[in-house]
Structure 1
Amino acid sequence: MVKAETYEGPGAPVELAEGCILGIGNPLLDVSAVVPTELFEKYGVKLNDAILAEEKQMPLYEELVKDYPVEYIAGGATQNSIRVAQWMSQSKGATGFLGSIGQDDFGKQLTKACTDAGVAAHYYETTEQPTGVCAVLIHEGERSLVTKLDAANCYKHSHTKSEAIQAVIEKAKIFYIASFFLTVPEGPETIEAVAKHAAEESKIFAMNLSAPFLIDFFSEQMNKALPYTDFVFSNETEAETFAKKQGWDCDLAEAALRLSAMPKVSGARPRTVVFSQGAEPTIVAFNGTVTYYPVPKLNTDLLVDTNGAGDAFVGGFLARLAAGMPLAECVRSGHYAARVVIQRSGCSVPPQPDI
C-alpha cells in the first residue's frame, strides 16, 4: 500500500526525560572549506560521497588549512544527529554521546562544543592517537567528506562496562548509531551489546546505513546489526546501494518495504525504514505501508551547505520519536531540522528552533 502525506511545519518542543537519547559513534572535528573541482580531482574524491582517508588523501588536511579559509565544527555523523536532537528538544540533558577522542586540544574543543550544545559527552579518552578529523569539501552547495578516524578508531568496548556508562545505558530509551562505527575495531562488539540490551528491555535501537562503501565493504558487520534495528535511516544513494547488495531489482519504495520486513530480533514493534531523498519526498515504510512525505521547498538562493542535512533530519526525527509523537510528526521535525542546517555552514544551528 502506498499513500502520500501532506502536513504543516513542526510544533513546539516537547519536554524529554534526562538521558533518554544516547548516540554511539565517531566524534570528529570537521575542517570545512569551499573548494574548486580541481581539489576533488587531485585527491580522487567524488561529490556527495563519504570515504575514509587513504594514503593519497593524507596531504589534503594540511592543504585545506594552508590554502583555504576553513571552519572548525564539532562533527561526526552520530554526534551531529545527537546535537540536533538536543537542540530540537530544548530539554536539558535529554541526550548523551559515547565515542573516543584524543587527549589533545582538538579533543578539548570537541568536548566543549558537545557540552555547550547541551549534550552529555561520555568520551573515552585515548593517548594512542590524536582526535579524529573530517575534511568537508564544499562546492556549489554540494559536499563530500574525507574522514581520518585516528582516536575515534580507538574506542574500547570495555568503556561501556564501567559503572558510570552502564548507568547511562540503563537510563536511555533510544539508541542511535551511524554505520560508520562499524569500521572501528571494537565498534561491532559495542553495537551488539547495546542492541541486545535494547531488545531485551523493549527499547528503541536505530541505525543509519550512512555511506555506500559501508554497505559494500562492511556488509558482514552491518548484517549482524540489522536484525536488532527498530528504525533504519538512509539517503537515496545508500538505499539504492543496499538494494543492489541484496540482489533486489526494485524501486526505492519496494526496497524500503523489503528492508522493513527483514528478520527482526525484537517483537516489541515493527521495523520502520526511512529513506530521505534531498528535496524529493521522504519515503517511510512501516507495517506493510509506504508513505511519501513531501519536503517543503527551499529557494536555492538560500542553500549554503548540504553537509549534515541527513544527520540533522535524523536528529529532528529522534527528538519527536522520544516524545512519543506519530511518524508524521517525526518526519516533519526531521524536515525542519534539515532545512535549518542547509541554510548554514556545516551542521550548525541557531540558539533555538523557530517552531
Structure 2
Amino acid sequence: AMAPEEYRQGRPASHRELFGFHTKDYIQAFERAQFRGGVEDSDRRRYQLGTLENPYFPGFFDTASLATGSGVLAAEAVLEGVTAFSPAGGMHHAAPGQARGFCYFNDPVLAIQRLRRAGLRVLYWDMDAHHGDGVEAAFAEDPDTLTVSLHMDTDYAYPYQGGRLTDWPGLAVNLPLPKEVNDSEYALAFAALWPRLLQHFDPDVVVLQAGTDILAPDPLSKFRVSNGLFWQVVRQIVAESPRLLVLGGGGYHPIALARCWTGLWAILTGRSLPAELPATGQTLLKAVEWELDDADAPGYGQQFLALQDTPRPGPVRAELRERLDFLLHHHPLFANRSSAA
C-alpha cells in the first residue's frame, strides 16, 4: 500500500495553463461538446474531437483536464526536489488546436513548460512505440529542451509522418526502430544514445514518457520488448537523471500495462518485486476485462502469476546498427564527438 506521503491528489489544469499551448477556440469547442453531450459535425472536422481516434464520452473535457493538471502538479513536485510519476499523462500527440492519437491535451508540453519557467534545461525521453510528434513540435525552437524519441517507423505507424532518422527539428533526436525489435536491440539503442545525450546536452531535469506499447503483448505495437528490459532502461534513467519526472503514455494491453507500471513504481519507490504475485495480485489481474488474448496460447497463464516477462533477447540486426551509426556520425549533437555503436 502507498503511504500518504507517496501520493498527491491531482487537480484540473487551469485555463491559463491550457492556453500556454492550446488554442482558445479548441478549448472552447472541447468544453462546449461536454456541456452539450456530444460534438457538432463542424467541430469534429475542425478539432478532431468525437472521432474514432478521439472519442466523445461523458466528462471527457474534465477527464483530460485532470490528467493534464496532474502532470503540471507532478512537475511542481519535481521542482520541490522529489521524483514524480503522473500515470494518466504522457499524451504526446495532441496539437495546439486538435486532438490527435487518443490525446486531447498535451500534458508533457505543459509539464515541460512549467519546468522551463523555473529555468531548467529539459531532456524529454519518449519510450512510447509511437513518435512523440506533439512534444517535438512544441519545443523545436527551444535550445534548452531536447526531445528524444525511439519509436516505430512512421512509414507504417501512427502518426504516419515525421520522426524519421533524418528529421532533426531543433535538436530533436529520432530513432525509428525495426519491426519486431527485441530486448538485445532495444538495449543496444538505449546504451548508444542515453549516456551520450546526457553528457552532451547536460540537462537539469529529465522527463520520461513511459508508454508501455513497446511491450510484446501490446496489440498496437510491432515490437517484442519484455518488461524486464523496460525496467532495466528505467533503472538507469532513475539512477543517472539529475531530477526526474515520469509520465504515462500509450499502452493498449491493460494487463501488460499494469504489470509493467507496477514494476516501474517499485523502481521509483525503492520497493522490491516478488518473484511470484500474491493471491490478491493474481485476482486483480484476472479481473481485468480483456478478450484479445488467446487463453489457449502457450504462456497465457504466466502473466497472472508473476510480474516479470520471460526475457526476449535476440540477434542485433545490421539495419539497427546502420541507423545508430548514421545518427552518431551525422546528428549535430554527436557529429565529431562519437564513434559507431
Shorter chain as denominator, the TM-score bin is 0.3 to 0.5
Q: Which has the larger radius of gyration?
A: 2
More strand by share: 1
User: Normalising by structure 1, what TM-score?
Assistant: 0.33
Kindly indicate whether structure 1 or structure 2 has the higher relative contact order, using CA contacts under 8 Å at least 6 residues apart: 1
User: Normalising by structure 2, what TM-score?
Assistant: 0.34
